[in-house]
Amino acid sequence: MARQIVLKNYMEDCVWELLDNVLAQDPEACKCDVCRHDIAALALNRLPPRYVVREEGAVYTKLAMLEAQYRADVYAALTAALMQVKENPRH
């Protein structure tokens, strides 16, 4: 079988990975699908993209993915995005 090589924004995985943690810390936050996607989109627009070349289906460990240097930036972007969505939810 031919290997499928894909281009992927690594920040996207980081954002989805940490989104639930950020939502869990705010009991007032809406956790519906529209708000979750809005928060992820806003956060990703604030973060610099980090494109990587990957093999489709390959498994990457969470630890390798969530390097400390990105973690703080992703948390800050998600927190700011959550505030923005809370003020003006689209659901």
Name the site residues for Zn ion (rule: CB under 5 A). 30, 32, 35, 91
Of the pair 11, 35, the CB lying nearest Zn ion is at 35
CB of 43 to Zn ion, least distance (A): 15
Contact indicator for 81, 46 with CB cutoff of 8 Å: yes
Which residues fall within 8 angstroms of residue 56, CB to CB, at 6 or more apart? 3, 4, 5, 6
Of the pair 60, 91, the CB lying nearest Zn ion is at 91
CB of 90 to Zn ion, least distance (A): 8
